[in-house]
Amino acid sequence: MKIFQGLEQPDAGKIIINDQPCSLQTPSVAMKHGIGMVHQEFMLIPEFSLLENLILGNEPIATKALGLGVVNFENALEQAHKLSDFLDIKLDWETPTIKAPVHIRQILEILKLLYKDVDVLILDEPTAVLAPSQVDDLFKLLRKINDDGKTIVFISHKLHEVVELAHKITVLRKGKVVSESLKDELEVHELATRIIGEEIEPVKKTSTNIEIKTEFPRLKVSQLSARSDKGTEALEGIDFEVSPGEVLGVAAVAGNGQEELIECLAGLRKITAGSIKLDGKEISEFSVSERRNIGIGYISPDRAHEGLCLETSLKENILAGQHKIHRLAPLGLINKKNANELVEKKLHEFEIVHDSMNQNARSLSGGNQQKLVVSRELSAQPKMMIISQPTRGVDISGRNFIHQKILDYSNNGGAVILASEELDELLFLSTKIAVVFRGIVMAIRDPSAIDIGQIGQMMLGVKSSSIA
């Protein structure tokens, strides 16, 4: 996709647009040829209004006295209304982007390309942060855009969405096209097999292997409140508890407090009220290091910047945080033999594809980097795991592998808080699901008694008592 955008140049081959070979040297050249892309991370200026973001880089100019040009906002607003009216979308164009819901920001990114009159829209994981009903609305919009003659390249790891939306499906594996099919020729299972190149081993979900009787819940959160980075109320009066062997899934549309909750539990964000107790002991004021020392593991949603040190070796990343374990450092110095044995064991156990334990973590694929993080956190044998977005950017095989490790951990008595934007993942792994909307727990439900549609409605603020 970077080549189509003009960000990188091909080593061989041709790009042909309208039967003419083209050289896309820069993003602006790609845009002139009618190719635009919506990235997985929003490329919007939060302080700008929706209208200002829409026209940024392509502003209508009105010439004033002395030949000076100013942005003609009246003309811009007229064009914006024509665009939204054509697509049957209602937007308040004066709304600051920072205050717009996440699905509106996603739509705005698409409208930016249509405003620039692109012919080919490349969408990278456009549904990653959307609730199910918002995905349905997005698909209606994309079909309307497609009916208007635009070409859409839809990149997603959510295979059921690919099969639902696409006319034809191309599978890439290790940089090569291995399959091209019409969507009617493929089912989700066959598509998954083509992506991996072999039959996928199903994840084995079994009941817990052991029963642990405790006087207190493993983790109890009471009336927890916290502020966002901008100083606004992010969490308000959060209550829940998790016992050994349980997986509490946290479902929320991005920007509704899910991230702040995980940070509070991991010790990365101060709470403003309430308490956090581990096995009955108050830990609200504990640092990250102190929480790790009492048995709390943490898998960050951002492996590149928080989960790993990419410029150091696989060995150093696995040992990080475990260098004080007596078996590894009996005299205060790391025993090289014991350390190497542990690292080799974890690299093998977690099927991390590598050449040497001394190679940099950056050299691994995204999936293997994530498995490296999971291996380090689980090898410390924590009482409690705080896990956020465990399979983000991981292929199907890697996702199944990580799911199995989480289930094995909980089945052996580990307690888990699991935050994920993947509702299928939450329904499969969780023993109960807490739905959060605007920093408040809407409900905590047994996943066997609720479906994705019902979760999606609560994620948008519909009270559980109002859902049929």
CATH homologous superfamily of 219-466 equals P-loop containing nucleotide triphosphate hydrolases (3.40.50.300)
Contact 259, 301 (CB under 8 A): yes
β pairing state of 35-38 and 120-124: parallel
Res 101: pLDDT: 86
Helix (H) or strand (E) holding 170: strand 168-173
pLDDT score of 221 more than 90:
yes
pLDDT for position 123: 94
Q: Is the pLDDT of residue 64 over 70?
A: no
pLDDT at 395: 83
Q: Across all residues in the chain, what is the average pLDDT? A: 91
In the chain, the percentage of residues whose pLDDT exceeds 90 is 68
**Rounded average pLDDT over 290-294:** 94
Token pair 């996928």 is found at: 200
Contact 309, 298 (CB under 8 A): no
Residues in the chain: 468
Range 280-287 average pLDDT: 96
CB atoms within 10 A of CB 396: 17
Model confidence band, residue 195 (pLDDT cutoffs 50, 70, 90): confident
Q: How far apart are CA 131 and CA 468, in angstroms?
A: 18
Q: What is the mean pLDDT of residues 378-405?
A: 91
Helices 188-196/396-411 angle, 10° precision: 100
pLDDT tops 80 at residue 322: no
Strands, E, within 321-368: which ranges? none
pLDDT at 202: 72
Q: Are 321 and 376 in contact (CB under 8 A)?
A: yes
The lowest-confidence range among 36-40, 216-220, 368-372 is 36-40
Q: What is the mean pLDDT of the segment spanning 121-138?
A: 88
Residue 337's SS3 state is helix
Question: What is the band of 65 on the pLDDT scale with cuts at 50, 70, 90?
Answer: low
The architecture in CATH of the region 2-196 reads 3-Layer(aba) Sandwich (3.40)
The pLDDT-based confidence of 129 (bands split at 50, 70, 90) is confident
How much is the pLDDT for 305? 87
At 465 the pLDDT is 65
**pLDDT tier, 207 (very low <50, low <70, confident <90, very high otherwise):** low
CA torsion 178-182-187-192 (nearest 10°) is: 20
For the chain, domain boundaries: 2-196, 219-466
| pLDDT for the residue 380 | 86
* Number of other CB atoms surrounding residue 244 within 10 Å: 21
219-466 and 2-196 share a CATH fold: yes
Is the pLDDT reported for residue 372 higher than 80? yes
Q: Is the pLDDT of residue 374 over 80?
A: yes
Residue 326 confidence class, pLDDT cut points 50, 70, 90 = low
Q: Is the pLDDT of residue 468 over 60?
A: no
The residues pairing with 220 across neighbouring beta strands, listed in sequence order, are 241, 277
Residue 206's pLDDT is 74
**How many whole angstroms separate alpha carbon 197 and alpha carbon 22?**
33
Give 168's pLDDT tier (boundaries 50, 70, 90). very high
Average pLDDT over residues 178-189: 89
User: Is pLDDT of 463 > 90?
Assistant: no
Q: Residue range 341-354: average pLDDT?
A: 93
Residue 466 confidence (pLDDT): 61
pLDDT of the residue at 215? 83
Average pLDDT over every residue of 279-293: 95
**pLDDT exceeds cutoff 70 at 112:** yes
What is the mean pLDDT of the segment spanning 371-385? 94
**441: helix, coil or strand?**
strand
Secondary structure (3-state) at 191: helix
Tell me: pLDDT of 209 over 60.
no
**pTM, whole model, 2 decimals?**
0.80
In angstroms, the CA 103 to CA 218 distance is: 36
User: Residue 367 corresponds to which tokens in the numbers above?
Assistant: 């999936």
Give per-residue pLDDT as tens, 23-33. Answer: 999 989 999 99
- Annotate the chain with three-state secondary structure: CHHHHCCCCCCCCCEEECCEEECCCCHHHHHHCCEEEECCCCCCCCCCEHHHHHHCCCCCEEECHHHCEEECHHHHHHHHHHHHHHCCCCCCCCCEHHHCCHHHHHHHHHHHHHHCCCCEEEEECCCCCCCHHHHHHHHHHHHHHHHCCCEEEEECCCHHHHHHHCCEEEEEECCEEEEEEEHHHCCHHHHHHHHHCCCCCCCCCCCCCCCCCCCCCCEEEEEEEEECCCCCEEEEEEEEEECCCCEEEEECCCCCCHHHHHHHHHCCCCCCEEEEEECCEECCCCCHHHHHHCCEEEECCCHHHHHCCCCCEHHHHHHCCCCCCCCCCCCCCCCHHHHHHHHHHHHHHCCCCCCCCCCEHHHCCHHHHHHHHHHHHHHCCCCEEEEECCCCCCCHHHHHHHHHHHHHHHHCCCEEEEECCCHHHHHHHCCEEEEEECCEEEEEECHHHCCHHHHHHHHCCCCHHHCC
Residue 211 has pLDDT above 70, yes or no: no
CA 105 to chain centroid: 16
Contacts of residue 336, Cβ cutoff 8 Å, sequence gap at least 6: none
- In this predicted structure, the answer to whether residue 403 has a pLDDT above a threshold of 60 is yes
